[in-house]
Amino acid sequence: MKHAQIAVIGGGPAGLMAALAAAEMGAGVTLIDRNSRLGGQLVKQTHKFFGSEKQYASVRGVDIAEILSEKIKENPKIEVMLNSTVVAYYPDDGVLGIEVEEKKWVKMKAERIVVATGASEKFLLFENNDLPGIYGAGAVQTLMNEHGVLPGKNVLMVGAGNIGLIVSYQLMQAGVNVKAIIDAAPTIGGYWVHASKVARLGVPILTSYTVKAAYPNKMTGALERAVIWKLDENWKPVPGTEKVFNVDVMCIAVGLSPLAEILWQAGCRMKYVPELGGHVPVRNENMETTVPGIYVAGDVAGVEEASSAMMEGRLAGLSAAQSLGYDDGSCEEKKAEVKRELENLRSGPVGEKIRKGLSKLAS
Amino acid sequence: MLATNGIPTAEELAPRIPPAERLKKGPVAVIECFQKIPCNPCYTACRVGAIEKFEDINDLPRIDFEKCTGCGLCISKCPGLAIFVVDETYSESEATVSMPFEFLPLPEEGQEVDLLDRSGAVVGRGRVVKVRKGKYEDRTPIVTVTVPKHLSMVVRNIRVGGGKK
């Protein structure tokens, strides 16, 4: 049985910041990630980040991953377990079950746990949605940005949130033709600056459209044609408004839901809050769930974006360390500063959905 | 309309366009940021204090066009790639537009390129007069291109090669 003072599950923006913050207070940290390198989704983000200097604004996500990973490696208080997936939490004795490199089973008892497992992609229901060539946006980013493999030649992007817009831009940078970006909502969900970036490349954005069906090539069985149709104000498809796209790739970017299995296993109280992406853990202002000693941060606590995930991670890490008695006297002040940052990030019009979700969660 | 297709209307653009008097005096930044998002690197990038301090990080950037020197240090720092520098004093008939350009191949100085508007439509041909791609730009090169003067507020992208649709 391994022992850890603080186990951080997930090495994305939230987990990296949680580990660094806890170690900063003097606690020992074991950071566990299922991938072969740290960074989570940051490693696929080639755009410069928004926010302020505290969230590495104007630095590309992939470079933020590098900066934070280096800090983790240099920190003697932090042990990193890569290729390691936490698949179980035994509530009776609080033991974590970890599958290491797909062959070893390691049990770990941690005094505190920060769950920063992120989110998984939602999918869309339509005829033939399982054809080869139909991808989630995360898969396209992994293929293209991590492995240098193009997903195809002509793409229909489904979803005009930030992920759909950003991946469209990355596809165009890679020389792939994005025929259109569609979204079922009547307005663009992502940042308008991202929308303007793809618009001036000549990519049309069609709001109030959804996918009707996909059709395969008879020889290969892979996607060859996509048909979309317009939605009326009640989100009902309007027959006769169909448009056809000859595409070999359809990329689905219709949102994320929290990856909360560990929290369910631990018996954390969960609440369904659509604004936060689905079932999310109830927690206090220090990011501690209803199971004492288990903290959350990032998308698993409510789907948002990387800047706030980093701040939540820092808050959870500081809180977990403090609860074990690790506090150099600056902890309260640092926590207060992070809370102010989070409030600022969420205070504008684009934070309205998150604010609504968080107030529902707290009620 | 920005909310439905990402392309600002004339009404949406109007408040962001520098006054004609200022444009006559030389290069100036045009910040095409229309939505209150939590973001402030344009303020931290400006060395002459032309972009006002953000009271709330969600504020739209407020620029003092008289203080702005058109240096362009904000262009590559804007995560939204929403800042352009327009110089209407370049020549009798031509203005220049400096824009962020994250595509390969990069044009060479002197090269002719297609000029594109905010919807990606080709509106003319221009000549690249400068390409900035130093460490500061951090892989967001800044391309300065000549445009017919009347298109200084229209051209917002280029296509290298081009000459055809």
Structure tokens of A32?
């566990």
Q: Do A196 and B118 touch (CB under 8 A)?
A: yes
At B143, is the pLDDT very low, low, confident or very high (cuts 50, 70, 90)?
very high
pLDDT at B150 over 60: yes
- At B67-84, the pLDDT tens digits run 999 999 999 999 999 999
Q: Which of A12, A350, A351, A90 is nearest to A195 (CA)?
A: A350
Q: Which of B4, B36, B80 is opposite residue A207, by nearest beta carbon?
A: B4
Whether the pLDDT of residue A325 is over 90: the answer is yes
**Residue A105: strand pairing partners:** A99
CB pairs under 8 A between A and B: 138
Q: What is the pLDDT of chain B when averaged over all its residues?
A: 96
**For residue B95, what is the enclosing H or E element?**
strand B94-100
Distances (CA, A) of A14 to A235, A258, A347, B79, B127: 35, 13, 20, 21, 45
List chain B residues with CB under 8 Å of A191: 35, 37, 80
B116 touches chain A (CB under 8 A): yes
Find the mean pLDDT for residues A200-219: 98
C-beta separation of A357 from A302 below 8 A: yes
Residue A363 confidence (pLDDT): 86
Residue B18 pLDDT > 80: yes
Nearest Cα neighbor of B45 from B74, B84, B66, B72 is B74
User: Is A193–B37 a contact, with Cβ atoms under 8 angstroms apart?
Assistant: yes
- Chain-centroid distance of CA A253 in Å reads 12
Residue A216 has pLDDT above 60, yes or no: yes
Helix (H) or strand (E) run with residue A169 in it: helix A162-173
Is some CB atom of chain B closer than 8 A to the CB atom of A204?
Answer: yes
Query: Smallest CA–CA separation between B43 and chain A, in Å?
Result: 10
Mean pLDDT of A237-259: 98
- Write out chain B residues lying below 8 Å of A186, CB-based: 4
Question: SS3 of B109, please?
Answer: coil
Structure tokens at A336: 């207060």
Per DSSP (E only), the strands in chain A are 2-9, 29-32, 78-81, 84-90, 95-100, 104-115, 119-121, 134-136, 154-158, 177-183, 205-207, 209-216, 223-230, 243-245, 249-252, 256-258, 270-273, 278-281, 294-296
* B120 contacts on A by Cβ (under 8 Å): 199-203
Closest Cβ opposite residue A173 in set B78, B103, B120: B103
Tokens of B35: 């939505």
CB contact A330 to B (< 8 Å): no
How far is the C-alpha of A226 from the C-alpha of B112, rounded, in Å?
37
Instruction: Inform me whether the pLDDT recorded for B88 exceeds 90.
Output: yes
Using a pLDDT cut of 70, give the percent of chain A over it. Answer: 100
CB contact under 8 A, B157 and A207: no
Least CB–CB distance from B34: residue in A52, A186, A192: A192
pLDDT at B165: 44
Whether residues A191 and B34 touch (CB distance < 8 A) is answered with: no
pLDDT of A195 over the 70 cut: yes
Q: Does B7 contact A196 at a Cβ distance shorter than 8 Å?
A: yes
Contacts of B35 in chain A (CB under 8 A): 191-193, 349-350
User: Both tokens of residue B9?
Assistant: 């209307």
Q: Which of A58, A196, A198 sits opposite B41 (nearest CB)?
A: A58
Tens of pLDDT, residues A175-190: 999 999 999 999 999 9
Once rounded to an integer, what is the mean pLDDT over residues A303-325?
97
* A182 Cα to chain B: minimum distance (Å): 10
Read off the pLDDT of each residue in A281-298 and give the average, rounded to a whole number: 98
Give burial (CB, 10 Å; 0-12/13-18/19+) of B17.
Answer: middle
Output b/e per residue, B63-100; b: 16+ Cβ within 10 A. bebeebebbbbbbbbbbbbbbbbbbbbbeeebbbbbbb
Q: Check B58 against A53: CB less than 8 A apart.
A: no
Q: In chain B, positions 134-163, which contact chain A (CB-CB < 8 Å)?
A: 138-140, 156-157
Q: What is the mean pLDDT of chain A?
A: 97
Which residues of B fall within a CB distance of 8 Å from A53? 41, 44
In this prediction the pTM is 0.96
* Per-residue pLDDT tens over the stretch B43-53: 999 999 999 99
Report domain extents, chain B.
2-159
Contact call for A196 and B6, based on CB within 8 A: yes
Tell me which residue in A48, A200, A207 faces B119 most closely, judged by beta carbons: A200
pLDDT in the model for residue B163 = 56
CB contact under 8 A, B37 and A58: no
Residue B161: what pLDDT?
79
Token pair belonging to A99: 């599958």
Q: Is the Cβ of A56 closer than 8 Å to some Cβ of chain B?
A: no
DSSP letter at A210?
Answer: E
Q: How far is A154 from chain B (nearest CA, A)?
A: 18
Angstroms from A191 CA to nearest CA on chain B? 8
Q: Which two tokens stand for residue A147?
A: 């492995």
Has residue A295 got a pLDDT over 60?
yes
Q: How far apart are CA A178 and CA A198, in angstroms?
A: 9
Say if CB A250 and CB A155 are below 8 A apart: yes
- Residue in B with minimal Cα distance to A344: B57
Residue B58 is nearest to which of A193, A194, A348, comparing CB atoms?
A348
pLDDT over threshold 80, residue B162: no
Which domains does chain A possess?
A: 2-120+256-362 (3.50.50.60), 132-252 (3.50.50.60)
- Candidates A255, A247, A243, A254; CA nearest to A133 is A247
C-alpha–C-alpha distance, residues A354 and A347, integer Å: 9
> Per-residue confidence at A132, pLDDT binned at 50, 70, 90?
very high
Cross-chain residue pair A58–B79, CB shorter than 8 Å: yes
Measured between alpha carbons, how far is residue B26 from residues A219, B68, B136 in Å? 60, 10, 23
- CA–CA distance from A256 to each of A131, A217, A296 (Å)? 21, 30, 17
Q: Give the residue-averaged pLDDT of B90-95.
A: 97
Length, in residues, of chain A: 363
Query: For residue A153, what pLDDT band results from cuts at 50, 70 and 90?
Result: very high
Task: Tell me how far apart the alpha carbons of residues A222 and A151 are, in angstroms, rounded to a whole number.
Answer: 12
Identify the DSSP state of A164.
H
Phi/psi for A68 (5° steps) reads -70, -40
Query: Residue A72 — pLDDT band, cuts 50, 70, 90?
Result: very high
Average pLDDT over residues A81-90: 97
